Structure 1
C-alpha cells in the first residue's frame, strides 16, 4: 500500500492564484508552512508576525526551494509581504488590514495561526498567565477574524477564514488550563461567525491540530516535563505513544488541510472544527 507523506506534492488550485491571503504567525512553525504552501499556489501572501520588522506590509523575495505544493513560489507567481503584528493589539490589527487593502489588495483569505501557550496547573496558575494566553489566542483571533470579515462584508466580497484551534479545543489537558480555555473559545467563535456570515459567502472553519513538531511544542515538553517530573524526551515518547498513526504531525500536515479549506473543494463547508491529530482525537 502506498503512503502519502506530509511532503508529497499537492494538486494545483488555480483559483488561489493572485488571491491575497493573510497568514498570522507566518514566521515559523505551522504559520510558515501555510505561508509557503499558499505561495506555491500563486497566492499573494501577507505574513504577519511579531518577528517581522515593519508594521507596513513590505514585499520581500520569495524562497527558491521547492515546496510541498510542487515548484517554487516564483514559478507560480506567488508574492510575499511581511508585516509586524501583535494580534492582541486592536489598533495594530486595524492598521495592518487597512494598509493591506490599500497597498496589496482585498484580503479574501485569512489563516489565523498566531498563538501562544503557558504551562501551569490551574491551582498554581497566575492571573497574568491566564490573561496573556487568552489575550493572544482568543481575543487576538477574534480581532483579526472580525477585521477581515467586516471588510469583506462591507465590500460585498466572498472569502475564506480559517482559524487555528487545537484538539485542546475539544479536550482537557493537564498543566494547560489557559490554553485549553482559549482554544475552546476559538471553536465557539468559528461556529458563530460561520452562521452569521454564511449568507455573505464568507466561510469560516477551524483546524484542530494534535501534537505538531514546532518550536512551541518543543518548549512545552521542557516546561511541562518539569512540572510533571519528566524529561522532555520522556514527554516526546509519551506524545508518540498516544497517536494511533504512530507519529506526531509535521507543520505541513496542518498546512495541507488549510489549503483544502481555502480552495474550491471546501465550498460546502463552514462552521467545522477539523481534526488533524493522527487519530488522537476523533470527535
Structure 2
C-alpha cells in the first residue's frame, strides 16, 4: 500500500490523537497539529507541529511552510475544537466568538488553503471534518457548540459540491458521546449548571445510547480512517454518525 501523508488538527488528545495513532499504525506519515504536545512523539512516522489555528490570518502562510517542509498532505482531518457549557440566556458574546473561531472559521480557512494547494497542482485530496451529533440535534447548555457544529456540516456540504469536479472529497464524521478530556469537563460543568454530579451525567449519557455504552476515541478514528481510504472513493458531502444509535439521521 502506498504511504500517505495525513494532517490531523487537535492531534494531541481525544479524537484527534486517536486518528493520529490509527493512521500511523496503518503505515502513514502523520502531521499532528496542536497548541502543545504533552509528550514527544515515539513514532518516527508522526511529526508534531505546534500552531494556534485561531490565528486565522497566519493559516495560509503556515500551510505554505508546512508543505515546504513535509510535502502536500493527501488528507486533512479537522479535529481541533472546543466547547463551553452555558445556557443560551447566560452565554456571553465572547464565548460564541471563541467557539466559532476554532470550530468553524479555522476549519474553513484550513480547508481553503489546502484545497487551493491541491488545485494548484491538479491533485486529488480529502477533507474530513469532525463535526458532531450536535450538528444535527440541540443539547441544553451547548448552544454555541451546537450552532458551530451545524455550521461545520453546512460547510462540508458546500465544499463537497464545489470541489467534487476536482476529485477533492469532503465529508464529516459526527461522533456521539465520546470519552475524551473535553467530554469529562462538560460533565463537570454541565452537572454544575443542572445541580447534578459528573457521575449522574455519565449515567444519563449511557442511558441515551441504544448500544448501551459511550464511545472511545478509537471508535471515531476507525470511521475517519475509512473515509480516508479507497473504500470511500464514491462518497462526498456526507455527515456520518458514530453515535451507537443515539442519532439516526
TM-score class, shorter-chain normalisation, is over 0.9
TM superposition score normalised by structure 2: 0.97
Matched, 1:47 2:32: yes
In the TM superposition, what are the counterparts of 1:4-153 in structure 2 within 5 Å? 14-15=1-2, 17=3, 19-52=4-37, 61-63=41-43, 79-153=45-119
Provide structure 2 residue ranges, at least 5 long, that are not aligned to the other structure. none
Conserved? CA contact 1:167–1:275, under 8 Å: yes
SS of the residue 1:107 aligns to: coil
Shift of 1:44: 1.2
Shift of 1:61: 4.8
RMSD: 1.3
Q: How many angstroms apart in 2 are the aligned matches of 1:38 and 1:83?
A: 16
SS of the residue 1:23 aligns to: strand
The more displaced of 250-259 and 92-101 is: 92-101
Query: 1:186-225 CA distances to partner (integer Å, 9 max, x unpaired)?
Result: 0000000000000111000000000000000000000000
Shift of 1:86: 1.6
Q: How many angstroms apart in 1 are the aligned matches of 2:229 and 2:62?
A: 24
* Counterpart pick for 2:146 among 180, 185, 203: 180
* Counterpart pick for 2:123 among 135, 157, 163: 157
Shift of 1:243: 0.1
Map of 2:238 onto structure 1: 272
Shift of 1:52: 3.9
Conserved? CA contact 1:88–1:143, under 8 Å: no
The more displaced of 252-261 and 34-43 is: 34-43
Provide structure 1 residue ranges, at least 5 long, that are not aligned to the other structure. 1-13, 54-59, 64-73
Shift of 1:62: 3.2
Conserved? CA contact 1:86–1:92, under 8 Å: no
Q: How many angstroms apart in 2 are the aligned matches of 1:164 and 1:155?
A: 26
Query: 1:251-273 CA distances to partner (integer Å, 9 max, x unpaired)?
Result: 00000000000000000000000
Map of 1:207 onto structure 2: 173
Distance 1:268 1:222, change over 3 A: same
Q: What is the aligned residue count?
A: 248
Conserved? CA contact 1:194–1:204, under 8 Å: yes
Conserved? CA contact 2:133–2:241, under 8 Å: yes
| Runs of 4+ deviating beyond 3 Å | 60-63
